[in-house]
Structure 1
C-alpha cells in the first residue's frame, strides 16, 4: 500500500485493501531485515477511516530489536568434492558487515545455481542463524544436504501457440540426455529472451521419471512481433509525411524476419524490402537480403541511393558473433547554388559503391533490448573499393557496460563509440562521413554537432568522431507495476575532420561537447518509450542544441 501520489492513475496501490495489509507487514519486515534487524517484529494495529472520510489511516507497531553485524559464515556440504571455501566466498554483506537478508537470500540462490552447474538440480541449501545479543553479532551456518547428479530427461515448451518449438529449442545450449547444468539453462533462457518474441520467459525444473532425471519446463508469454503501419504526419523538420510499412520479426512463427516499407516526407523518400533467415540451411548461420532506394534532402543537398545488400553471420564462440555484409549501390548527389560543391565532394556525380562490411561483436547483456547487466563490444569495419567509384576504409568501435547496484534496484550504464574514416587514394565525401547528435549526445539535434556549411549552416559530417554516456537507471520512488523507470545521464562527444575544408565552419575543431539531463523509460504494449530532457554544458557556437527528445525503441 502507498499514500496517494500524482501518478495514481497508473496503478491501484493507493486504494485501501484489507487483504494487502498482511503483505505490507511482510514488506516492513523485509525492510528491517535488510538493515541488520534480525529480531524485528511488526504487528498491524488497525486500518481505520479518517474522520473526514477522505481516506484510511493505517498504523503498524514495530519493535526493531538489536541491529546485528555478521560475525562468521560457514558452509558444510554432504556432497563430496564440493569446495566449501569457494562457496563461502559467494555470500557478500558489504564492507560494513551489517546483516542483510537480501544478501543472504541471493547468496543461497547463487550457491544453488553453482551446484546446479555441477549437475545437482535438486539440492537443499539451508541457513541457520545464531544471534549473539551481547556482542550485537550473528553467525550464519549453511548446510548443503546430500544429493545426486541429475540428467535432462525432457525439455518442454508451454504457451508458445504461435512460435514453433524448434525456434525456441535451437536457442538452448542443453538437450535431452545431457547432464543437468543450471548455468547452461540460464544462458539458454537469456538467448530465448533476446529473440524479442516473448514478453516473459520462465523456466522450472521438475522431477523426471526417476530421481536422477529432470524435466525442464519453459513457459513463455508471446507478444506481438509484427507491425503494420500506415500514417500521415507533420513535423517542423520533415513537414508533411506519408508512410506504409510491414515488419514481421517472427514470420509465421519460424523466426524469420521479413519487412517492406515505403515512406515519403519533405526531406526523405525511402523504399526497402528485406528478409533475414536466422538459421540458414538449418545451421547456426544467419542470412539476409535487402533492396533499398532512398532520397534524402538536407537544405542545399539531395542524395539518391539505390542498391542491394547480402549478409551472412555466424557465432564462433559463446556470445561472440561475426557478420559479413556486401553492398552494391549507386548514389547521385545534387546541390543548390547556395551550397559549396567543395563541401560534398560528390556534387553532380553518379557514384557506384561496392563495399564489404565485417562486424565482430561480443554481447553478454542479460537483455539486449533493456539491459540490466553485462557488456557489449563491437568492431565494425567497412572497406569500399571492390570495383566501383568509391574507395574508403571506415572503422567504428562500440562498447557498453551495465552493472546492477543495490540489489538490482539501480543500474549503472557506461557506453562509448569511436569512429574514423579515411579515403584510399580518394577524398572522403559527405555520404561516407559520420554524423553526431540526437541519441548519441542528447541535448543536441540530429547532426547538431560538428562542421557546418558556412552558407546554409547545414551539417556536413566529419571523418573522426567519439561519443560516450554515463547513466543511472532506476525505478526507485516509482511503482514497478507502471513499467516506468527514470534516468540521470551525462553525454559527451565530438565530430571533426573533412577532406573539403573550404567554406566549412571550424572543420578541424575537436572540442568536446558535454550535456547532462534526465529521462524516462516506459515499457508499453507498443514497445519501450523514452523521453529525455538535456542541456548542453559545453558546446560550440555553430552547434544545434535540442532540449527534448522522444524515441520508440530500445534504450542505449
Structure 2
C-alpha cells in the first residue's frame, strides 16, 4: 500500500482519511504534484497555505537563501521579475497537470478491512467506478457515502498513481456486531411482546442511535399498558471479538391510570363535549376489563387534532390548542391539562353558485341546508356538497365536481361561500360486476339492485341498492365502487361483498312460577344454500311445555318480487288444571310495496286438543276440552323505518294484522282477531335512546261460539309487562291459572344508555303499563311494571336481561320477576 496512511496525525499530501470525532471530516483530498522544479517542502507549503499566500512570502528564494538587508533596494527589480516568472511557470504547469488529471481514468477500486459487511454493500455506495474518470470531488463523496452506511467506525482512502491510471483504496474499520440482546427486569410484560417492538437483531451492526430508539419503543410499550413510572436504561458490553452485548434494564413500577383531564380557556364549548371527542379517557369502574384510562401519547396527539377540527367545525377558525401538559408526579394518578384559546366564532356570510348551474338558484338553495348567519361548519359544507353531488348524479352526471370557495371577513367574523359546479358528461352503466360472494349466488345479489346495465347513472338508486343488500343480513360488508368504462360516458359498477355468518344457533333461559326454568334452542339460516332462503328449526323445552317449529321462506318466490313460505309446528303445554296440544301449519306470502312498507298474508290450519282437565278447573276451561280445528286467513301491513335492525337509534317499526277463522274457511273455531303494534326510537343527548312501544289486540268470536283459550292474549312477562309472570297481568282463575284475555293494551317506555362502548354494553330503564281484559269496563286499573335491564352483544351473542318489579302486587302476584335470554352465532 506504500507509505503509512497515518503520519503523526497529519494529513499526508496524496492521502486523506476520516476518523470518528475528527474535526477534519470529511478531509480535503489533495493530489501530489509531481513538481521536480520545486522542493518538497515548498510543495507542502503551497498546498497547505495556498498558492497565493506562498508567493507573497518575502523571505523565500528558489535556492532557499534569504535576501540580505543590504542592497535590497538594488535587488528589488530582479526579485519582482523572478516572482513573476515563477508565478507564470507554476500557473501554466498547474494548468497542464490539471488537464492531465482530468483525463486520467480509475484503474482499480479496492475495498479493504471489511469482515462481516459484504464488499458489494460498500461498492454499492461508491460511485467511482473502475474504467471511469477520476474525480477528487467524487472520491470525497464516496468517502461520505461509505461512512453514512453506519457500519464503520473509521473510513480512510489512499489514492495511488499507476501507469494504468488511478488506484483508489478504501480502508474501513467495522463497528462491532451485536452478539446478544438481553432484556432484564420485565415481569408485567412478556418478553415476546417486548421483542416484537425491537428493530435491533443479533448479528446486526451495532448502532447506538438505534439502541436509543429501541429503548424508547420499550418505554412506549410500557406506557401503553399503563406503567408510566417505568425506568429504562441501556448499556453495551464490548467483547474482544469485535462484538457487543446490548442490555436493556427495566424497573417497571406500579400501573397507573389517567385520574383527571382538565381544560382551560374553553368558554363556548362544554368540557363534557370535548371529553366525548377524545379517545383518551379518565379511569372508571370498567378500566379493569377495558383500556379506558390508559395514556397513549400517540392517541393523545390525535385527540388534540380532533379537538382542533371540532372547534373549526363550530366556527372557531382562529382557535389555538396548546400541547397537553402531563403531570406524572404520581404515575398512578396522571393529570392531563389542555389549554385552549377559542378566539371569535365565525358565521356564514354570502352564499352563491357558479358554473354549470343547470337549474335555478332557488332550486339549488332548496338542496342545501346552509343559511346565512348560521355558525360556520365544515361538516355542513361537506353535507351540502354531498347533497349537490347527489342531485346532479341522480341525473346521470356521475363525475360532477363541486368545489367550495371561501373568503373570510376577519372584521365581521364572516365566511363567504361559493359552490363552483362542473357537471362534466352524462354517464350510463356499462357493466355491473360482483365479487366476494363465496356462498351467495349472483342472482340473489342482483335481484336487490335498483340499477341495471345500460341505464343512466343514478347515485340515489345505487345507495338504496347498497342498503337493500345490507338489510338482507347476508353480508358483513357491502362496498360499491365505480370505474371508468370503455368510454368517458360509461362506468362499471363494482360490487364487493364479504359474506356474513347467516346461520345462528341460539339458546335462551327464563324463569317463572309457572314454568320454573324454560330453555329454548334454535338453529336457523337466513341464506340457506346461498339462494337467500330463510330456514328456522326451533325447540322449546320447559317443565310444563315443549314446542317444535320448522319454517322455510323464499323471499323471491319463482324469481318474482313476492315472498312465499311454509310453517310446520307442534306444541304441548301442561298447566295446573289442563293441558293442550297444537299441531298445524301455515303457508305465507308477501310483497314489498315500497322501501319501508310490506304486505303479508297467511293461511293457517291447525288441530288443537285440550285434555287432562282437572276436576277443580274453571268452567270456562272445562268447556274447552276436546279436539277442535282452526282454519284461518290473515293479512298484515308492516312499516319499518329503523336506521339499524339490531341497535336502532331512530325511526320505527309498525304492524297491523287482521285474522279471520271459520266461516267460509271451515273449521270448528270462528273468530275475528286484530293486533297492532308500534315502536319508535328517538336519539337523545349523551348517546341516550328513548324507545316508546305500544301494543293492542282484540279478538271476538261469532256464530255463538266462545273464544278458544289458546287464541287469547296472555299479558305479563317478557315483551309485554315485565314484573309479572306469564299471563298474570290479565284474567286468571281461582287456581292462579292464566285464562288469557279477549282484549289487551300495553305501552312501554324504555330509556337505553351506553355503559361501555368498548365492549358494546348497554343498560335500560323501563316502565310498562297495560292489561289484558275481556270487557272494556275492566280496563282500569292498569297493571304497571318498572325495572332495569342489560343489553350486551357478548362473544356468546346478544344477551338480554330484565329485572321487572311490580310496584303494587296483589295477592298471589310476584313482586319481582327475572328474565334473560342468550344467543350465539356460528
TM-score, normalised to structure 1's length? 0.85
- One of 414, 421, 431 as aligned partner of 1:154: 431
Q: 1:235 to 1:261 in 2, by over 3 A?
A: same
Partner of 1:322: 599
Aligned pair 1:22/2:301, yes or no? yes
8 Å CA contact retained: 2:510, 2:820: no
Aligned partners of 2:439, 2:474: CA distance in 1, in Å? 10
Structure 2 unaligned runs (5+)?
A: 1-279
1:222 to partner: Cα distance: 2.8
Aligned partners of 2:788, 2:385: CA distance in 1, in Å? 36
Aligned partners of 2:783, 2:490: CA distance in 1, in Å? 59
8 Å CA contact retained: 2:511, 2:819: no
8 Å CA contact retained: 2:353, 2:421: yes
Aligned pair 1:210/2:487, yes or no? yes
Aligned pair 1:399/2:678, yes or no? yes
The aligned runs of 1:94-133 (5 Å cut-off) are: 97-133=374-410
Partner of 1:37: 316
Partner of 1:503: none
Q: 1:473 to 1:130 in 2, by over 3 A?
A: farther
Aligned length: 540
Partner of 1:333: 610
Aligned pair 1:223/2:500, yes or no? yes
1:64 to partner: Cα distance: 1.1
1:353 to partner: Cα distance: 0.6
Aligned partners of 2:788, 2:313: CA distance in 1, in Å? 29
8 Å CA contact retained: 1:448, 1:545: no
Partner of 1:416: 694
Partner of 1:439: 719
What secondary structure sits across from 2:538 in the alignment? strand
1:276 to partner: Cα distance: 1.6
Moved more, 542-551 or 227-236: 227-236
Q: 1:403 to 1:190 in 2, by over 3 A?
A: farther
Partner of 1:252: 529
Aligned partners of 2:741, 2:823: CA distance in 1, in Å? 27
- Greater relative contact order, per chain length (Cα 8 Å cut-off, separation 6+): 1
8 Å CA contact retained: 1:452, 1:542: no
Partner of 1:465: 744
Aligned partners of 2:784, 2:414: CA distance in 1, in Å? 48
TM-score, normalised to structure 2's length? 0.59
Aligned partners of 1:404, 1:332: CA distance in 2, in Å? 48
8 Å CA contact retained: 2:397, 2:427: yes
Aligned pair 1:351/2:635, yes or no? no
1:236 to partner: Cα distance: 6.0
Aligned partners of 1:372, 1:508: CA distance in 2, in Å? 36
Taking only aligned residues, the RMSD between alpha carbons, in angstroms, comes to 3.5
Q: Would you tell me which structure has more helix in proportion to its own residues? A: 2
Structure index of larger Rg: 2
1:22 to partner: Cα distance: 3.0
Aligned pair 1:63/2:333, yes or no? no
Q: 1:446 to 1:190 in 2, by over 3 A?
A: farther
What secondary structure sits across from 1:193 in the alignment? helix
- One of 335, 360, 378 as aligned partner of 2:655: 378
Aligned pair 1:368/2:645, yes or no? yes
1:380 to partner: Cα distance: 0.5
8 Å CA contact retained: 2:508, 2:822: no
Aligned partners of 1:533, 1:232: CA distance in 2, in Å? 14
8 Å CA contact retained: 2:723, 2:786: yes
Aligned pair 1:451/2:731, yes or no? yes
Aligned partners of 1:142, 1:470: CA distance in 2, in Å? 45
Aligned partners of 1:231, 1:490: CA distance in 2, in Å? 23
- One of 257, 274, 287 as aligned partner of 1:8: 287
Aligned partners of 2:633, 2:778: CA distance in 1, in Å? 29
Q: 1:245 to 1:442 in 2, by over 3 A?
A: closer
8 Å CA contact retained: 2:510, 2:821: no
Structure 1 unaligned runs (5+)?
A: 499-505
8 Å CA contact retained: 1:127, 1:143: yes
What secondary structure sits across from 1:482 in the alignment? coil
Cα deviation code 1:202-238 (max 9, x no counterpart): 4334444433333333343333222346899987653
Aligned partners of 1:394, 1:326: CA distance in 2, in Å? 14
Q: Would you tell me which structure has more strand in proportion to its own residues? A: 1
